[in-house]
Amino acid sequence: MTKHLFENLAKLEAKKKGIEIEIELARHAVIIEMQKENVDTAKVNEIGTFTITVSKKWTYSDEVKVAEGNIKNLKKVEQETGIAKAEETPSLRFTPKKDDTSNDDTEHQVDNNISSGEQARA
């Protein structure tokens, strides 16, 4: 196996995490600015259009929660009895080595699906 492939992926995953945090901070700042200006859409020449959208998060009744639990149990029974069929897809999980100097005690795991035609042989 070629070590540099693994090192490269680990470095890219670390960069990705940092970039995702920067994006969220920038997104929040843009939303605050747009709200301050009382606009839902901002067209910025040569860049594009930024639009504040609203997402809904639903909270369901106990009746629906019970029904969801029943469905979950039925799915488990079908899995155990072989009625349900599983499709397996290879994926790669990367867990960075803990840095002894880091104050971050959380473990970061990344799952990336790999289609069968793109599997790398290291």
- Tell me the per-residue pLDDT of 58-70, one tens digit each, with 9 for 90 and over: 999 999 999 999 9
Residue 50 neighbours by CB under 8 Å, 6+ apart: 30, 34, 41, 42, 43, 44
pLDDT (tens digit, 9 = 90+) per residue, 12-64? Answer: 999 999 999 999 999 999 999 999 999 999 999 889 999 999 999 999 999 99
The 3-state DSSP class for residue 16 equals: helix
Of 1, 2, 10, 19, residue with least CA distance to 112: 10
The residue whose two tokens read 């490269």 is 8
pLDDT (tens digit, 9 = 90+) per residue, 75-109? Answer: 999 999 999 999 999 988 888 888 765 444 444 44
